[in-house]
Amino acid sequence: MLLKRTRNFVKVSKKQKSNKKRKKGIKALKEKTKMSLREMEKQFKRAEHLFYTSLKYTKTGDVIVNILKRWCEMIEASIEAILEKAKKKKQIKEIPKAPLKKRLAVLKLFPDEPLVKQVMDLYLIFRNVDKYRKIAEHEFRKNLTLHIFTEKDKLSINFDKINEWHELIQAYLKFVKSYAK
């Protein structure tokens, strides 16, 4: 036994202390991963509500922008969950602090996964949606279109495009859940 009794105190060896710290660290990582997954699901539910209810009744460009922001927050939470799980599996040494470096770390973890690449590319657009110039066309009508002018080109977002992205993000969500659990 590694414990030594001296007077009324019990001395714990350095090895035992490091094992306790490691176990606490692993437990903390598991908890962080669970929290990130919960946050990801919350943001996805909020975006779904905006998509199915708010967009249906209001049909404004602001609702589309809010959907994109929710998806951005959901993707950020999923990136956290993926990186925490990868750290636990010892696929990476540490989790980067900067969001774009986190994105690159996820792309390095899954170089052959086209779904991850597509969502990470969308994440760049969603992340900067506030900085871009936006013009809403046909607001309050059936064929609402939001034109976003990025640095490179013009992106037209209509209900069909949002539906396409919704399906893509839903598939990505399933992928992240299967990886992180």
Classify residue 74: in a domain, yes or no. Answer: yes
**pLDDT at residue 35, as a whole number:** 80
Classify residue 2: in a domain, yes or no. Answer: no
Distance, in Å, from the CA atom of 125 to the CA atom of 69, rounded to the nearest integer, reads: 10
Distance, in Å, from the CA atom of 121 to the CA atom of 117, rounded to the nearest integer, reads: 6
Classify residue 22: in a domain, yes or no. Answer: yes
For the chain, the domain total comes to 1
**pLDDT at residue 24, as a whole number:** 57
Paired with 154 in beta bridges are: 149
Classify residue 7: in a domain, yes or no. Answer: no
**Distances in Å between the alpha carbon of 78 and those of 41, 113, 170?**
9, 15, 12
Q: Which domain holds residue 163?
A: 14-180
Classify residue 75: in a domain, yes or no. Answer: yes
Distance, in Å, from the CA atom of 72 to the CA atom of 169, rounded to the nearest integer, reads: 10
13, two tokens: 């060896």
* Three-class secondary structure of residue 147 per DSSP: strand
The per-residue pLDDT string of the chain (181 residues; one tens digit each, 9 = 90 and over) reads 455 555 555 555 555 555 555 555 556 656 777 788 888 888 888 888 888 888 888 889 999 999 999 999 999 999 999 999 999 999 999 999 999 999 999 999 999 999 999 999 999 999 999 999 999 999 988 889 999 999 989 999 999 999 999 999 999 999 999 998 7
* Three-class secondary structure of residue 151 per DSSP: coil
**pLDDT at residue 1, as a whole number:** 46
Classify residue 1: in a domain, yes or no. Answer: no
